[in-house]
Amino acid sequence: MTSEVDDAHPIEPPNGELTSANDAHRYVSDHCLNDGPVGQVGLEVEAHCFDLADPMRRPGWDELTEIISGISALPGGSAVTVEPGGAVELSGPPMVGPLAAIAAMQADRAALRATFAQAGLGLVLLGADPLRPAKRVNPGPRYQAMETFFKASDTGAAGAAMMTSTASIQINLDAGPRAGWAHRVRLAHALGPTMIAIAANSPLLGGKFAGWRSARQHVWSQLDSARCGPVLGANGDDPARDWARYALKAPVMLVKSPEVIPLTTWVPFADWADGRVQLGDRRPTHSDLDYHLTTLFPPVRPRRWLEIRYLDSVPDAVWPAVVFTLVTLLDDPAAADIAAEATESVATAWDRAAQIGLGDRRLADAAAICVQAAAERAPAELEESMQQLVRSVEQGRCPADDFSDRVVKYGIAPAVTHLAQGEL
């Protein structure tokens, strides 16, 4: 398991031609999850990049890549990449346990912030850009093609916001023993609404209040569910088969032949694999299928490990506690049992969690139980962060509420600049 696999350059699979949708289904289900113990944790942290002197200006591609090219190896081993809208992502290597992963990411965050500060830029942990309109700065052909696909599928505005105005903290965990896959994947989904309510941190988008505590989650919900909805099937008893079925029903977004060709019509991958449609004047290969999988963005994505994608990017003071909470609720058997029971009644309340968060009594109750279970297991190194998270949940508050208060008091641009300067 690793948290640093570039979606634009997936690991090279066998490259024979697929003979049918059944062949593709077999390939996906056989390779999507690794059977083994739990314990490794990989983190990915995305931060919006702002000019400290002019927060409305979006730093350009050449400017960002020049800064990154001058960075030597980071102390925690993270790779640094630039998202389509100029957000800067740290992707950490897998570590044994959440504490090691958190410590490494904290060190890398500090080093990266210092480097960007020297260039007059600040890195802000918010789930959505509260100030600037959506705009792509990454010139990569993959993102140009994605832009074209979203416009053709009548989700152009949501697609642009998703690519260029949102940021998250992603947590990568081992899939675990095969016998426990169904329970583990179901719990990872069931925890989604509760964790969204706890970590919501995007009350504004594009210069105005969005009416959602997690505008980021709302943006994702506006994209087609065949590509961005939850993976679980009717009963969730076989997550590998569920993922294969999901992948084959999902429309092909782009084809590499060898240039990147965007699609402007709805073609499920199964139709291409079965030969009902030819894209790029050919049948698909295993490489095409592997690339197709990188264009699917469900809240929990199987990538041999489990990639948890539903958390907003949250402030440095609390993201360690948020990470520890989610990892503990999935990896600690006793805590997992507590979480499963606590979240049962809100396991599908995705939109409610994103809109009103802990203002929903059932979500607030589930959050209190889950955070307390994690706090009881937290090491001394995380005590301050965990205490802050516990207090916030007890008060029915999330990071979005704190940022909203700043905006009301100072205005959007000053509030962003305060965060970009590292002010709490």
Q: pLDDT by residue (tens digit) across 351-391?
A: 999 999 999 999 999 999 999 999 999 999 999 999 999 99
The count of C-alpha atoms lying within 13 angstroms of the C-alpha of 79, restricted to the half-sphere facing its C-beta, is 12
Residue 35: count other Cβ atoms within 10 Å of its Cβ: 12
Peptide bond into 130 cis (omega under 30): no
- 350/48 Cα distance (integer angstroms): 24
Task: Look at residue 233 in the predicted model and tell me its pLDDT.
Answer: 61
Task: Look at residue 256 in the predicted model and tell me its pLDDT.
Answer: 87
Task: Look at residue 4 in the predicted model and tell me its pLDDT.
Answer: 39
Task: Look at residue 423 in the predicted model and tell me its pLDDT.
Answer: 66
| Low-confidence spans in the chain with pLDDT less than 70 | 1-15, 233-235, 423-424
- 269/274 Cα distance (integer angstroms): 9
CA 184 to chain centre: 18
Strands (E), 163-313: 168-173, 204-205, 208-209, 254-256, 260-262, 300-302, 306-312
**Taking each helix axis from N to C terminus, what angle separates 333-343 and 181-199, rounded to the nearest 10 degrees?**
70
> Cβ(351)–Cβ(192) under 8 Å?
no
- 409/177 Cα distance (integer angstroms): 50
SS3 296: coil
Task: Look at residue 258 in the predicted model and tell me its pLDDT.
Answer: 79
- 339/20 Cα distance (integer angstroms): 40
| pLDDT tens for each residue of 102-129 | 999 999 999 999 999 999 999 999 999 9
CA 267 to chain centre: 25
CA 299 to chain centre: 7
Structure tokens at 148: 């074209």
What per-residue string of b and e applies to 179-213 under the rule 16 or more CB within 10 Å gives b? eebbebbbbbbbbbbbbbbbbbbbbbbbeeebebb
CATH class label, 21-421:
alpha beta
